Structure 1
Amino acid sequence: MSTPRLRRHDLIWLDPGVDAGLFAALGQRGLARDWVQQGFPLVVARQSNEHAGKANQVALGFTLPSAPMRTRVMLRADRTAIIRHTRPLPLSETIQHAPAGWRAGLDSLRTLLERTGTEARVYGSLSSEIFTGMRYLDKASDLDLLLECGASTRLRELLAGLEDFSPEVPSIDGEVLSASGWAVAWRELASALRTGAPRQVLAKSDCEARLIAVDEFIQPILLPA
């Protein structure tokens, strides 16, 4: 049986019968055990070059909404402990769970995404709050989106719309994900395309981060003339 591809921001559930503490650092073992035993998902992290070739292990993480600073817990889990795997939630499935003050803005955002042929998935605080029932969002929270773009995406229109949308609630953060598998922060990409000057942007894949030319990144995405 082939090993399923695990991508950054994907959600993973581990077998609660497995001691998840063994996958975490010594000081975080209790936190890891409690999280998994409650049936909460973990997020696939970027796999380091050191471990990228180890098909039997995967880097995962989760965040506890601890005050005044949140606690980030990292694990390197055996793939055999995975019992469920999904992509991040589509935006359409999260709107009903979002703060009431976000609803009008999210309706406008959804219209923009539909018009530009973009699939948006939610990660970060809103996703964590939905899955755990714990409080992650506050007045300063952003909405973190993975903007999946392909040949039918009207990228320039999407980025311009996001920039116009920014003053509304919520503030939109996140990445544009190309069909190549590379992702770039949407604000950085918008700035690069707006200036028109040859430049590089910081791109992330499932196992590395590096500077790449803007043209290389957008090549799989059809840009209208």
Structure 2
Amino acid sequence: MMFYRHNRVWLSANGWRAACEKLPAAHVKELMRWAENGWPAIVRRNDADARPDMLYLGLAPPPEPGTGTKIRIPFSAGTADIVRHEAPLALMGAESALPSVWRCAFSALAAAASSKGLEFRVYGSVALQAITGLPYLATSSDIDILFYPCTHAQLQEGMALLQLYAKQLPLDGEIVFPSGRAVAWKEWAQALENPGRLRVLAKGMSSLSLVPATDLLAELEQS
């Protein structure tokens, strides 16, 4: 099985139990809530001492009321305890979680991406609220989009859509290239506007590094 950052995974009961045994007691209650509700954990970057039979995951409870403090709980599970895994949430699956002021523009973005055959998905607070029904979103929240181009033409079309709808929505997120390496789409836009800045910060499952933009472009089909 191949896993990438932001993928959703569902664990067996044994997987949740094993994860709880390795965590501080303060986090166990939250993991058990996830397990009892059948919510997925999210794939994160591998730890430095990653083992091939382990998957490195995380979950994020809603921000604490009053303070807005965000807690992130990293943990791991054996790959044998993964009972199901899926890509991040499709745009249409997130619309119900959005405040009404964002829905019209978001629906238009989803329709435009679909009409062009572009794969856009959502992660972060919007996805978590849609998946769990818990209160994640605030007026300062972003809509984190993952864009998966396969060709140079798709990359150009998708970037144009993101820049257009960012005028109406608080869009953020990443371009995910075929290798799984990802670049913040806003950084990619800035790099292409500045010919002298041709290296971008690429996030992979095991690394975080500055790479030439041409290396990522080479992963895409020419059509």
**TM-score, structure 2 as length reference:** 0.88
Counterpart of 1:42? 41
Q: Aligned pair in 2 of structure 1 residues 195, 115: CA closer, same or farther (>3 Å)?
A: farther
1:162-217 per-position Cα deviation (integer Å, ceiling 9, x unaligned): 2232231x311100011122110000001111222252100011221111001111
Q: Partner amino acid for 1:15?
A: S
Partners of 1:196 and 1:116 lie apart in 2 by 28
AA of the residue aligned to 1:151: T
What is the alpha-carbon distance in structure 1 between the residues aligned to residue 203 and residue 30 of structure 2? 28
Distance apart, 1:39 and its partner CA: 1.6
1:91–1:122 contact (8 Å) kept in structure 2: yes
Deviates more, 1:108-117 or 1:92-101: 108-117
Aligned partner of 1:143 in structure 2 is 143
The CA distance in 1 between the partners of 2:79 and 2:185, in whole Å, is 31
Gaps of 5+ in 1: none
Give the length in aligned residue pairs. Answer: 218
Matches of 2:221 and 2:12 in 1, distance apart? 41
2:126 is the counterpart of 1:126: yes
Note the aligned Cα RMSD (angstroms): 2.1
Aligned-partner residue type, residue 14 of structure 1: L
- 1:29-77 Cα shifts (integer Å, max 9, x gaps): 33223322222211000113420xx222111101111232021111111
Change (3 A) 1:99 1:78: same
Counterpart residue number, 1:102: 102
Cα deviation for residue 108 of structure 1 reads: 2.9
Compare the two structures and name the one with the higher helix fraction.
Answer: 2
In 2, the alpha carbon distance for the partners of 1:90 and 1:15 equals 24
Corresponding letter in the other structure for 1:11 = R
Helix, strand or coil for the counterpart of 1:13? strand
1:58 to 55, 59, 63: 55
Q: How does 1:1-225 map to 2 (within 5 A)?
A: 4-16=1-13, 18-19=16-17, 20-51=19-50, 54-65=51-62, 66-67=64-65, 68=67, 69-114=69-114, 116-151=116-151, 153-168=153-168, 170-222=169-221
CA displacement, residues 88-124 of structure 1 (integer Å, 9 cap, x when unaligned): 1111232244222112211332244246542011111
Task: Note if contact 1:184-1:204 (Cα within 8 Å) is conserved in structure 2.
Answer: yes
CA contact (8 A) 1:44 1:58 kept: yes
Rate the CA distance shift 1:38–1:23 in 2: closer, same or farther, 3 A: farther
- Using structure 1 for the length normalisation, give the TM-score: 0.87
In structure 2, runs of 5+ residues without a counterpart are none
